[in-house]
Amino acid sequence: MTGESKTEASGARAIASARAIRQALTGDGSVAMYAENSTVLPPEAFALPESAPHGLVNLPDKTAVFVGRERELALLDEAFGEARGVVVQAVHGLGGIGKSTLAAHWAAGRVGSYNPVWWITAETQADLDAGLAELAVALAPALRDVLSREALRERAVQWLAGHDGWLLVLDNVSDPADVKQLLGRATGGRFLITTRRASGWHKVAEPLALDVLEPADAIELFERIDGPGEDIEELCRELGFLPLAVEQAAAYCAEAGITAGRYRELLAAYPREVFAQSAEGTDQARTVARVWRISMDRLTDTPLAERILGVVAWWAPEGIPRGYLAEMGGPVEVTEAVRRLAAHSLIRLHDDDTISVHRLVQAVARAEAPGACRESVERLLRSSWGLRGIDAEKVWFTHLDALAGCTDPDADGANEAWLFNMGGIKVSTIDESRMTELHARAVAAAERSLGPRHEITLIMRSDLAHAHGIAGDPEHAIRLLETNLADHVREFGLHNERTFEARAVLAEEMVDGGRIADGLSLAKENAESAELALGEDHAMALRAWSAWSRALRYWAEEAADDVTAARAADAIEALLSRIEAVEGTESKIYDTVHWNLIWSCRKAGDIARATVLLEESIARRTRLYGETSRVTMNSRRAFVGFLWRAADDQARARDLAVSLVADSRQLLGDDPYVHQIQQAFAPLLTPHEA
């Protein structure tokens, strides 16, 4: 135009303007610019430098308080030190476990080996793009207001693809797919990724699982922040040695001027509030509760995942059989929910078909969803029905014990009554004091939820009485059962099945408590009455006679002569034939009477007959209860004692004792039950075998 200066531009992406322009695009459309006054820029102005500025570092302040992790640091050194070409390591683990702190600490020690060392928060694709754009600006500051973010991101990726010797830390990656394209374009350099995603890294990165701190390191972390004091070790253990939780607790204690012990008290009374608190000057979004809420929010499309987490929150943190969760949904649905929880590091999967969950994840889940306890109780109760094996019972009881410890007895209902009653039965040979405590809790729950004279309440009172007898207080047990029998008569009448059962239990407890004559008389009277009222082939009549056989066996064992014992054995064998005709040889009533016959024969001096009967009993109990059930294992233990002391067959007794100890140790490990067996048969065993 006349009167205006002429402006020319050359080159594929060169732009020229003599006056102000609003927008200009390069010919290929890849660069957009906004300017009021423009000047001539040659094509090379848009290229990033051949080499990064010396000492280009961008790291967060996450290394001020760092302890332990020698193993993980060494693994990172090894991974990044030996390989050629691009190297990608993904440090994964539970939120708050210290992934970012580890990455920042390791990267800070490598600023002399890599350039640039650049940290990008990569939780979302947008975060990753923004971080790459910032890297481009750091490499060429003049481009900050010249290129769009998309163009800057592309420049950064191109620069990384064409260079080596750099370290890029991608922090808190949510999905491997978000970084896959970036990783695929790199031909050299190093990527260190932190993520909660435990899976999905196949053919993308080499995963490195991060666990909690060692106890000593957790204590050191706390003391660096708050100084030494009492109860620190106990608090760190209660916090599961999780770095974020330990750091959060220490900072709060220091600022609030409270001890670790007081923090524990607050944590026990107000877990939800405590997990949401943080000290001044710390990141409010980095509290334990909020960190894990983010993980759960990502699972909203799998409702069963949060439901499962709420259920396992009330059990022991380790060794949770996946079978306990089987009925919470269809097989595929449950498998998918468990997979997603594991993928987001909220639980861990193990080769023995169990899962584990950090104790603080459990605590937060309990605080956020207390109503899940009801389903947890129901799941655990249902899981008890199919247990076959002393080892399975031990695992189950571990979870019951944990649930009992974190629930309020005053809130127990009918399901809790059944659960704790079952727990008392299964723990009877493990911990007698715990057995009585559980049965008492079951009775209290039944009385509150069902009524003091409900049929279930009366059954559980009977079990409580039996627990007192096992614990060495037979008189207390007998008094409770006498009251219980009176309640049965009042509620159901003299000739009701439940009343006959209550009387049979009382007779057996009298025998166990040393009142053998009274027990024998009551058992016989009860059996005759039951037979008259219900019929001689009725199951309850046979059950009543089995109680009589027990009393008769003890009467024979107390007798001074073998003739009385032989007569008792004959009477019990006749009863056994009668039961066999009605119920066969595989019923529990037959098995009970058969057991009483064994010891009557022993007392009568018929050792050969007793030996054969014991072998039959062990085979039957293996079929009825399982090879590794407590009943079968105790029968094997009785057989060893019989062979050793009664049959005088020390060689066979020794062989069976060695096998019994080995099997028990394999099933239970270092357990009081194993120690009891070792102590009982110590004279038969070498020190190595014991």
pLDDT tens figures, 29-86: 444 444 455 545 555 556 778 888 898 999 987 556 889 999 999 999 988 887 677 8
**pLDDT reported for residue 268:** 85
The radius of gyration computed from the CA coordinates of the chain, to the nearest angstrom, equals 37
How many folded domains does the chain comprise? 6
What is the strand order of the sheet 320-321 is part of? 320-321, 354-356, 348-349
- Helix ranges (H only) for 89-202 are 99-108, 125-139, 149-161, 176-185
Contact 484, 455 (CB under 8 A): no
- Asked which of 375, 392, 414 is the last residue of a domain, the reply is 375
- 614 shares a domain with 485: no
- Asked which of 345, 375, 405 is the last residue of a domain, the reply is 375
- 71 shares a domain with 16: no
Angstrom distance (rounded) from CA 617 to CA 112? 75
Q: Which of 596, 598, 594 is nearest to 606 (CA)?
A: 598
Specify the CATH number for the domain of residue 79. Answer: 3.40.50.300
Contact 193, 205 (CB under 8 A): yes
- 620 shares a domain with 576: no
Q: Is residue 117 part of a domain?
A: yes
- 167 shares a domain with 116: yes
Indicate left, alpha or beta for 648 from its phi (over 0: left) and psi (-120 to 50: alpha).
left
**pLDDT reported for residue 5:** 45
- 197 shares a domain with 326: no
Residue pLDDT, tens place only, 648-672: 999 999 999 999 999 999 999 988 8
- 306 shares a domain with 180: no
**pLDDT reported for residue 120:** 95
**pLDDT reported for residue 35:** 47
Angstrom distance (rounded) from CA 117 to CA 102? 15
Polymer length of the chain:
690
Indicate left, alpha or beta for 356 from its phi (over 0: left) and psi (-120 to 50: alpha).
beta
**pLDDT reported for residue 32:** 46
Angstrom distance (rounded) from CA 418 to CA 463? 11
Which ranges of the chain have pLDDT less than 50? 1-7, 10, 12, 17-23, 25, 27-35, 39
- 99 shares a domain with 7: no
Q: Is residue 453 part of a domain?
A: no
Angstrom distance (rounded) from CA 194 to CA 93? 8
- 487 shares a domain with 555: yes
Angstrom distance (rounded) from CA 568 to CA 570? 5
Contacts 24+ apart (CB under 8 A), 297-301: 298/174, 298/344, 299/340, 299/341, 299/344
Q: Is residue 395 part of a domain?
A: no
Contact 397, 630 (CB under 8 A): no
* Model confidence, pTM: 0.80
- Give percent helix, percent strand, percent coil of the chain, each to the nearest 5: 60, 5, 30
Coil, strand or helix: which one is 241?
coil
**pLDDT reported for residue 288:** 74
- 513 shares a domain with 484: yes
**pLDDT reported for residue 531:** 97
- 556 shares a domain with 488: yes
Contacts 24+ apart (CB under 8 A), 404-412: 404/438, 404/441, 406/314, 406/366, 407/314, 407/373, 409/441, 409/444, 409/445, 412/441, 412/444, 412/445, 412/448, 412/449
Q: Is residue 264 part of a domain?
A: yes
- Asked which of 514, 545, 580 is the last residue of a domain, the reply is 580
Q: Which domain holds residue 634?
A: 606-690
- Using DSSP bridges, classify how beta strands 190-195 and 206-209 pair: parallel, antiparallel or unpaired: unpaired
**Angle made by CA atoms 550, 554, 557, in degrees to the nearest 5:** 140
Coil, strand or helix: which one is 9?
coil
- 653 shares a domain with 531: no
- 71 shares a domain with 163: yes
